[in-house]
Each structure stands twice: as structure tokens, then as C-alpha cells.
Amino acid sequence: MKPKMHQIASPVTRVVVMMAFLSALFLAPAHPSLAASDTKKAPAVARATVVEHTEARIKELQSVLKITPVQEKLWENLQQVMREDAKEMDALIADRAEKPKAMNAVERMKFHSQMTETRLNQLKKFIPPFEELYASMSDEQKKSADTVFEKGIMRKQKSKKK
């Protein structure tokens, strides 16, 4: 039996590939042939910033993981890392938004590479405080954490397929 690709790739590799894909998907401008005509402009879609998304994720995680008062300091350390990473990513996205829209393919790929490297470095900073928090968790909390991080952002897509 041939192993599936998701069984071969390491979790870090999957995250890096996913971040590259998501940054390409959400940050690249639409193809000109798909754009609205000059006479009809599409309404601007408000996108949540990475900071806003992170704040929502922090609240979700705190609820799901049932952080105890004893774990509060470890949780605060993890939140700090998450917030710093979100600000860093928002700054990177804002920097890209200030550049001319007419980036060529090479410039665009360099930007996506920079986004992926930034995200990988952020994951490396995230792991130590998360390990400390995880080590302090009860078996029930660990099970919840395992489920949340196993499914990650794909959970909504998987649940729709069922």
C-alpha cells in the first residue's frame, strides 16, 4: 500500500507549505481577466488583520484548552509570542501593500518566500512556550490540544466533507 502524502511530510513541512499556499492565495492580486470592469467597481472586502485573527484564536484556544489559574503565567507567555508574531506578520503584509501592485513573478515569489521564512521562524519561537504549557496540562487538556492542533485550520473543510 502506497503511503499518502500527508503521512510522509513532517508537520513543519506541512505548515510551511500551507503558509506559502495561503499567502499566495490571500495576498496575490486577482488575475486581470477576473477583475471587475472599470465602470463597475467591486466593493472593498474588509479582511481581518492577522492581529484580529490571532486575538480570536487566543480566545478560542483559551476556551477549548480550559486554562487553569495555575497555568495562567505559561498561557500569558504563549499569548505574548502569538501577539508579537501577529504584529510582525501584519507589518510584513502592510509593507507589501505599500509597494507597487505591479510586482513581477520573481518579486512575488521572493515575497512569498519571505512570508514563509517569517512564519517558520515564528513557529520556532512558538514551540518552547507551548511545550511548557502542554507539559503542565491535564490529560483532558492535552487531548483537546492534540485535537485542535491536529485539525488546525483544515477542521472546517474536513467537517464539510462528512
Give the tens place of pLDDT for each residue, 46-94: 568 899 999 999 998 988 999 999 999 999 999 999 999 999 998 988 8
Domain membership flag for residue 41: no
Task: Please give the Cα distance from 9 to 16 (Å, whole number).
Answer: 11
Least confident of 21-25, 66-70, 74-78, 147-151: 21-25
Q: pTM higher than 0.75, yes or no?
A: no
Beta-carbon count within 10 A of 119 CB: 21
Domain membership flag for residue 52: yes
Domain membership flag for residue 112: yes
Number of separate domains in the chain: 1
Domain membership flag for residue 74: yes
